[in-house]
Amino acid sequence: MTSRPWTLHPDRALPAEPAQRSIARELYQATAALPIVSMHGHIDAGAIARNDSFGDPAELFIIPDHYLVRMLVSQGFSNSDLGVRPRDPAAPFETDHRLIWRRFAENWKLYRGTPTRYWMEHELVEIFGITEEPSAATADVIYDELTEALAKPEFRIRGLFDRFNIEVLSTTDAPDADLADHAALAAEGWGERVVPTFRPDAVFYPDRAGWRAAVDRLSARSGVDVGDYAGFLEAVQQRRFAFVAAGARATDHGHLTANTTPLDRAEAERIFAAALNGPVDAASGEAFAGNMLFESARMTVDDGLVMQLHPGVLRDHAASVHETYGPDNGFDIPVAVEYARALQPLLNAFGHDPRFRIILFTIDETVYSRELAPIAGAYPAVKLGAPWWFLDSPGGMARFRELVTETAGFYNTSGFVDDTRAFASIPARHDLSRRIDAGYLSKLVAEHRLTLDEATETAVDLAYHLPLASYARR
C-alpha cells in the first residue's frame, strides 16, 4: 500500500444508503459542535494542573495506550519492544522512540476495521494535520511532523483542552488521593472543568495484593483509624465527602462480578479483621467487595455521588505479562456477568430512592437486551452507561442502541461516556459516538418511526444533555 493524500471524509462512519446518510448527516451536524462532556476517564489531573506537554509521538500515542500496544503484541512484539517499561529496573526495554513509532507505522494494516485505526486517523489528520497515512515509507516524516507540533505551546494539554471544547472532564482517583491537583485547578478557576472520581476498588477487595497498603493509605489520608470495619466505613465515607468537596460527581467500581449482597455486620467485621491479620480467600474477598457495593449505594443516598459499576473483567489474564510489566497491559479479558440476580439486593434497597443513582456498564453484550435494558426500563435509579472499552467502537455502539433502545428507550441511558487514557483521542471518540447515534436515529427516521425533529432533539440529548444530567451534582 503506497501512501496517499490523506483526509477525513465528512461523512465517515455514517450509513452508506444515500437517503439514510442524508438524514444522518443532518443529525450529526446538529451535534458536531456541541461541547464535550467527558465524565469518566483516566487523564492525570496533575498533567492538566501543570499544563504538561505530551512528549514525543511514542509517548503520546503508543506507550501508554494498551489498545494499541496489545494489537502489536498479538502479532509478536513484546510490550518492551514498544517502550513499555518492565517493573524490574534492570530489565531492558526499547528506548528509541522513533523506532517504536516505526514499528507501529509499519504495522498500520493490523488496525484495519478497529476503533484504534479510526481514532488515530482522526487524531493525526484533524489535530496534527498529518497528510500521509502511516507506513514504513512515511514513518519518519510523520514522526518529525508530530514532534514539531508537540513542541508548540498550543499542543500542551490546556491548549488542546480548549481546542477540543471540553466542558467538563472527570479523572479517576484512588480513595487516598490528596486531590491537590484538583485544588490547584480549582484555584485557577478550572474547578468545574476538571473533577475527580472516587474509585475505591483497591480497598474493597481484601483478598488482593496491595489491599493492606491501600487501607493504610486510606487511614493516613482520612485521619480515621481503620483498625476495624466501623472505622473503615467511616474512613470511606469521610473520603467521599472530601471528593464531593473537591467537585466529584461520581464513584466508580470495577468489580469482577455485579454482586451487591450485603453481609451481616458480624460477617463483614470478621472478614475485615481477618484480612488485617493476613491473607483471606477469593470467596471472602468477593463477598466483602459485594457488601461494599451495597454500602456504597447507602452512602450515595447521603452524599449524592452517582455510582458507576463496571463489572466483568478478568484482569491480568497473562500472568507473565502482569509479572513483568504490572497491571493494565492489554491482557484483561471480559467474562460473562449476571446482573439480574446480582443487583437485586441493591435495587430492592435503593432502586426506588430518588436520592440514589447508578449507571451500569458492561462488556458482555449478551446482557443488553436480556437484563440491562429491562432493569433500566423499570428502576428509576438506573441508567445504562455507554458501550465500554472493547465496545467503544462503531459496531459496539450501534449494537448497544439496537439491543437497548426498544426496551429502555433513549432516556434511560447516560449518553456518551468515554473511558480513555489517551487524551488526544477524546474528540475522536465523542465525534464517532455522535456519528453512530446519528446513524441509528437516521434509520428510525428513514423507516418513518421517528420524525426528523424528534431525532434531532434526541441526538443532542445523547451527545450533551443526558451526560450532563446523568452526572449532575445534587
Stretch 168-207 residues interacting with a copy of itself (CB under 8 A): none
3-state secondary structure of 333: strand
Indicate whether 315 belongs to the interface with a copy of itself (CB under 8 A): no
Min CB(416)–a copy of itself separation in Å: 16
Among 165, 395, 473, 474, binds a copy of itself (CB under 8 A): 395
The number of C-alpha atoms within 13 Å of 198 and in the hemisphere containing its C-beta is 31
Do the strands 166-170 and 333-334 form a parallel or antiparallel pair, or are they unpaired?
unpaired
- 16 near a copy of itself (CB under 8 A): yes
Please provide the distance, in angstroms rounded to a whole number, between the alpha carbons at the two ends of the chain. Answer: 54
Which residues in the 267-306 window bind a copy of itself by CB under 8 A?
Answer: none
Number of residues located near a copy of itself, criterion CB under 8 A: 96
CB 46 within 8 A of CB 465: no
Residue from 179, 250, 275, 363 touching a copy of itself (CB under 8 A): that is 363
Residue 455 CA from chain centroid, whole number: 27
128 closest CA partner among 110, 101, 107, 103? 101
Site map 213..242 versus a copy of itself, x via CB under 8 A: ------------------------------
Would you count residue 380 as binding a copy of itself (CB under 8 A)? yes
Altogether, the residues listed in the chain come to a count of 474
Which of the stretches 16-24, 162-170, 185-193, 249-257 binds a copy of itself when contact is defined by CB under 8 A?
A: 16-24
List the alpha helices (DSSP H) in 123-210.
139-150, 157-163, 180-187, 201-204
Report 70-99 residues binding a copy of itself (CB under 8 A): 70-71, 73-76
Interhelix angle for 229-245 vs 211-222, to 10°?
60
The grid cell for 61 is 500515542
**Is residue 463 a contact residue for a copy of itself (CB under 8 A)?**
no
Pick one of 451, 472, 473, 474: the residue that binds a copy of itself (CB under 8 A): 451
Among 125, 444, 468, 469, binds a copy of itself (CB under 8 A): 444
Nearer to a copy of itself, 197 or 329 (CB): 329
- In sequence order, which ranges of 387-465 are alpha helices (DSSP H)? 394-408, 426-446, 452-460
- From candidates 126, 390, 421, 469, binder to a copy of itself by CB under 8 A: 390
Q: What is the largest CA-CA distance in the chain?
A: 68
Show the binding pattern over residues 402-441: x = contacts a copy of itself (CB under 8 A), - = does not: xx-xxxxxxxx-----------------------------
Cβ pair 470, 306 in contact under 8 A: yes
- Beta strands at 194-195 and 166-170: parallel, antiparallel or unpaired: parallel
Which residue's CB is nearer to a copy of itself, number 240 or number 401? Answer: 401
Does 394 sit near a copy of itself (CB under 8 A)?
Answer: yes
